[in-house]
């Protein structure tokens, strides 16, 4: 990303391995990476002033799913300018629709995308939004 600003991405997932892997891959691709192991940590970081350009949110997490997290983020006007993207193994039309209702700019299915493809999808979505 020559001459471009480094996009700040907050990766929210309840899986340590996936967070570490995506964190490394996005860092190697020129992103400034922040991570949150679960929705509570994500809310804490956002309320603490973190203002990412991109939120990459898993859906299936304990205590609060990704949709509930996005509802809270929207309701509390946290990261208002962030591009919200869902990264989930669930690929149901109802989930995709619900994401759209919550202002999600893209929906990526983990099982069908390699980490490189996820990064490419995220870049495409950012370019369309910013």
Q: In this predicted model, what pLDDT tens digit does every residue of 89-122 receive, in sequence order?
A: 988 999 999 999 999 999 999 989 999 999 999 9
Tokens representing 130 are 């910013």
Burial class (CB in 10 A: 0-12, 13-18, 19+), 111: exposed
Strand order in the sheet with 54-57: 32-37, 8-13, 54-57, 83-88, 104-109
Contact in structure between 10 and 73 (CB atoms under 8 Å) = no
Instruction: Judge whether residue 1 has pLDDT over 50.
Output: no
- What average pLDDT does the structure give for the chain? 94
| DSSP codes joined into one string, 76-94 | TT-STTPEEEEEES---HH
Q: Can you say whether residue 117 is alpha, beta or left, with left for phi > 0 and alpha for psi between -120 and 50 degrees? A: alpha
- Predicted pLDDT at 129: 78
Residue range 8-129 in CATH 1.20.1630.10: no
Is the Cα dihedral 20, 21, 25, 31 positive or negative?
negative
Domain spans, the chain: 8-129
More confident residue, 91 or 74: 74
Reported pTM: 0.94
Distance CA 2, CA 83 (A): 21
Instruction: Judge whether residue 5 has pLDDT over 80.
Output: no
Tokens representing 71 are 């509802």
What SS3 state is found at 17? helix
């Amino acid at each position: 990303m020559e001459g471009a600003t480094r996009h700040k991405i907050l990766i929210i997932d309840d899986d340590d391995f996936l967070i570490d892997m995506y964190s490394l891959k996005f860092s190697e691709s020129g992103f400034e990476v922040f991570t949150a192991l679960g929705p509570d940590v994500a809310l804490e970081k956002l309320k603490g002033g973190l203002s990412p350009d991109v939120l990459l949110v898993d859906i299936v997490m304990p205590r609060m799913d990704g949709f509930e997290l996005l509802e809270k983020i929207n309701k509390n006007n946290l990261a208002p300018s962030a591009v919200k993207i869902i990264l989930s193994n669930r690929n149901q039309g109802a989930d995709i629709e619900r994401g759209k209702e919550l202002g999600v700019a893209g929906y990526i299915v983990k099982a069908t995308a390699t980490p490189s493809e996820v990064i490419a999808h995220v870049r495409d979505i950012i370019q369309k939004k910013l």
